[in-house]
Amino acid sequence: MTGRMELDRNKLVVVTGAGGFIGGHLVGELRRRGFERVRAVDVKPADRWYQNHAGVEEVRADLRDADACRDAAAGASTVVNLACDMGGMGFIETHKADCMVSVLINTHLLVAARDAGVERYLFGSSACVYAADKQTDTDVTALREEDAYPAMPEDGYGWEKLFGERMCRHFMEDYGISVRVPRFHNVYGPHGTYDGGREKAPAAICRKVIRAQLDGTNAIEIWGDGKQTRSFTYIDDTIEGIFRLLESDVTEPINIGSSQLVTINELVGIVEGIAGVKLERRYKLDAPQGVRGRNSDNTLIREKLGWEPSTTLEEGLAATYAWIHEQLTSGAHDEAALAFRL
């Protein structure tokens, strides 16, 4: 286990993609932990952010532009880059070019961070960097960090993330920026996208189960045959992992993911149990499915940080289901749930 280097609560922390799902939760936790100076940056207007927090400098900026990155990084001690164009499998399989354009954000922001003398720089990567030939079986072997090479990542989004990781590595080698690179595994939870095409499987399943009850169809459409396997990481674990990584000396890419592997059919069953229903399952075999199986090997994070995500899928889905149910039944319309996250 590595030593802990506590972040200075009085120095400026910049979070990009702060109007998105992970970013919104992270900004809130920074404030709860006593960070006095937080700059939150997103391309969306503030009234379309997933969450807003008091005492935060909120900035609207398109970080694909180099000048915007220089302004965002000015005076910062720590930069957490979560900004990218992304969504669930239905989005990233049909918007490969849009996902790739996000390389501009990390490239310009690294240059800006170098010029501004930023002490720590975190780049939010993804399990989509892992080689596709290691994810062809539902009974998948959990992915270790070294399994990203030889490179064969998810086309579009995965390549953007893998390229971003390499940029961070070389900026650390050449310019001395202290980098952190978490590989997030299917993050879910309240205050996220649950409709509109960018949602991921847990939120989509919760929404479908709720609507099947509300509209009386008592049926659910499942993409693929339901046998594909995944692990899903609750947002609170993800945020805790970010803090632990930032306050460590771990500079190589590291998994932040649950190791609780389930099939999509089992995921549906858990949500049905929470809702107290049993639905007819209709399989859409021609829908985007992604890799056949993916799970997180947590050996390295246990070794380096003495910790790993521990929220069970049953616990996390209960909280997620309750929040989405409230959104769909209270008349509230979450603009951010349908907005582009950059």
- What tokens does 13 get? 């922390």
- β pairing state of 229-231 and 261-263: antiparallel
Concerning whether 188 is annotated as a catalytic residue, the answer is no
The answer to whether 227 and 264 are in contact (CB under 8 A) is yes
Please name the residue that has the structure tokens 């969504």.
87
| Residue 174 backbone phi and psi in degrees, to 5 | -90, -30
Q: Can you tell me the distance from the alpha carbon of 147 to that of 259, in angstroms, rounded to the nearest whole number?
A: 16
Name the catalytic one among 121, 157, 188, 234. Answer: 157
The amino acid occupying position 4 is R
Strand 280-284 relative to strand 233-234, pairing: unpaired
DSSP states of 44-64 as a string?
S-GGGSS---TT-EEEE--TT
What's the rounded Cα separation, in Å, for the pair 28 and 303?
28
Q: Which tokens hold the place of 156?
A: 């579009």
Q: State how far the alpha carbon of 17 is from the alpha carbons of 60, 212, 276, 306, in Å.
A: 10, 32, 36, 28
Report the distance separating Cα 102 and Cα 156, nearest Å: 10
Active-site amino acid positions: 157
